[in-house]
Structure 1
């Protein structure tokens, strides 16, 4: 009887091996199914493209304006004057630089005139200082770069070529996840422009738009407040 009980409670090496193989097959099957699922998700994502971030155009414009104010403060050029004739359009919404994403639209985007993505726009704001000399601009851009990097900004390029001086930066992303870029450029005529541009954003339903579909009623620039009497 003791031997019989012992024999019943003890698994043979052959039975143990079969159990391990079964467990291995189950594990491999689960991994395979997961891999197929993830591959499907990646294929669908590549086909449809990365969704455009959603943002209110007016709120985005105010954020961009605040960023140009930060740049003005960091440049530390109190003697410069705002150029009222600067051809930059102040705050604008551009609907022609946002195109459908993903492989589903690959052929369409190869056309000379790319289709635009409805309900999206690039928001930008721009102004310029007048009467800035090249030495002043070089010093100012270096000061601004150091100050803004200390606040978490990222320098994407800094060009001090013979004629043009340009500093490109990326401010930290806010909670809405919208990427912005800021470009500071000195022109030979002494104009130092500061432009802040958002990536393509999808504006909410109900946003007031022009006949072409561009958001309007965007707030006027406030920056640089020191030169606008605000």
Structure 2
């Protein structure tokens, strides 16, 4: 009795093809859902810790004040970090036109040095400009202007690591240096209360709270 040699058993191709098609279909569905979510909500805002942002903004203010190297007769005023409005992104913004998000904020600290004459202000600004440029900050606005009845000096720099801004202005009508330090929009934790926020207060070096 002759026996037919047993040959290698082949796996049917159809079940394998169905498995591949199933995986691809799921991947496409997930990709479409992610793309749709991105289109509707836009790029997500980064999550931030308000206290960490406040410390960074105040540290930048300290560096600017130190960089001015002003004589002791010119003292900076204390300041407080305020939050700014941030808005919906993507198609979601069409359903919330001009409506700020309650869980996303920008951060800004404004302070000033009054009674600074132009030569002193010009030299102080030059020192800070040079320092920021050497640290890799990018000049985004040149604010020097002059007219028949006014004169203004100023600039704005953007940090190389995340969009923080330093804005310095001076005008001859007030002879005051005005400084703004800004951090961009970030999503804050639930329960964040900008009105009960001890870390928001900034005091120039050499001045303490209540002094």
Query: Contact (CA 8 Å) 2:170, 2:178: kept in 1 or not?
Result: yes
Query: Contact (CA 8 Å) 1:56, 1:204: kept in 2 or not?
Result: yes
Correspondence 1:183 to 2:164: no
Q: 2: distance between equivalents of 1:131 and 1:93?
A: 25
2:47 counterpart SS class: coil
TM-score by length of 1: 0.66
1:101 counterpart SS class: coil
Compared CA separation, residues 76 and 54, structure 1 to 2 (3 A): same
User: Any stretches of 5+ residues in structure 2 without a counterpart?
Assistant: 1-23
**Cα shift readout 1:115-164 (whole Å, capped 9, x = no counterpart):** 11121222221211111122222222222111111112222122210122
Correspondence for 2:11: none
TM-score by length of 2: 0.71
Compared CA separation, residues 80 and 102, structure 1 to 2 (3 A): farther
Correspondence for 1:100: 88
Correspondence 1:160 to 2:152: no
Q: 2: distance between equivalents of 1:73 and 1:51?
A: 36
Query: Contact (CA 8 Å) 2:143, 2:169: kept in 1 or not?
Result: no
The 5 Å alignment of 1:13-24 reads none
Displacement of 1:80 after TM fit? 4.8
Alpha-carbon RMSD across the aligned residues, in angstroms, is 3.0
Correspondence for 2:52: 59
Compared CA separation, residues 229 and 116, structure 1 to 2 (3 A): closer
The 5 Å alignment of 1:46-195 reads 46-84=39-77, 90-95=79-84, 97-106=85-94, 108-109=96-97, 114-162=98-146, 163-173=151-161, 178-187=162-171, 188-195=173-180
Q: 1: distance between equivalents of 2:43 and 2:153?
A: 34
Displacement of 1:79 after TM fit? 4.1
User: Quick check: which one's helix share is greater?
Assistant: 1
User: Quick check: which one's strand share is greater?
Assistant: 2
